[in-house]
Structure 1
């Protein structure tokens, strides 16, 4: 986390505090998502003989992309509602923007890792 700078007046101090708040909220949301994701496989019951197989990689990736898209859509809707004057809580709008930003960044990092792994596999065959 970035430290709060002193000096520069009340506006600069306020901007630093708001930036720090956004960073804390983003990290808290990311940690919550990680906690939920790690809790779901542990909470899932063991598969029996007659049950359907677990979701494949492509299906899991597709669901994750749908969630990211939904978060971005929700953020856009909240921002538009705020601009129309329907939503008055700026914190909720900013939180939705941060959530969609963190989701997009995480998706981008996963894509980069997948691309890197694919390139490594392709180099192995040569």
Structure 2
């Protein structure tokens, strides 16, 4: 017997939650495909003609700039929602999830770079 309101013995509430989750996941995948298509049409990406130092530093700078833009967009949508300007909560939540994923990916890249740097510093000459 469940004491939570809205969740009966048949599990109808759980099914609704799972359906909403699946809708969010499918919309997120669609947004990712659109974003990838837009980036490809704008000629985004790392150029191979640059030297190693400038290519890596500019690629890192561009990636951090994109993560910052995603986080700023998420913050703007959240503030607009709090003010009542945006009524689509799904759009706000997707933007926040995208910002969270972008931050986590950046954090993982930073961890790998730090680990590689530490490995290089431990090498004997």
Assess same fold via TM > 0.5: yes
Aligned to 1:9: 11
Aligned to 1:50: none
Aligned to 1:23: 25
Query: Structure 1 residues 117 and 31 mapped into 2: Cα distance closer, same or farther (>3 Å)?
Result: farther
Residues 66-124 of structure 1, C-alpha deviations (whole Å, 9 max, x = no match): 11011111101101111111111222112211211111111111111111111211222
TM-score, normalized by length of structure 2?
Answer: 0.68
Aligned to 2:5: none
Query: Structure 1 residues 109 and 32 mapped into 2: Cα distance closer, same or farther (>3 Å)?
Result: farther
Aligned to 1:64: 63
Distance in 1 separating the partners of 2:30 and 2:123: 39
Aligned to 1:3: none
**Cα pair 1:30 1:102 within 8 Å, conserved:** no
Distance in 2 separating the partners of 1:109 and 1:32: 24
User: SS state of the match for residue 88, structure 1?
Assistant: coil
After TM superposition, give the deviation of residue 58 of structure 1 in Å: 1.8
TM-score, normalized by length of structure 1?
Answer: 0.68
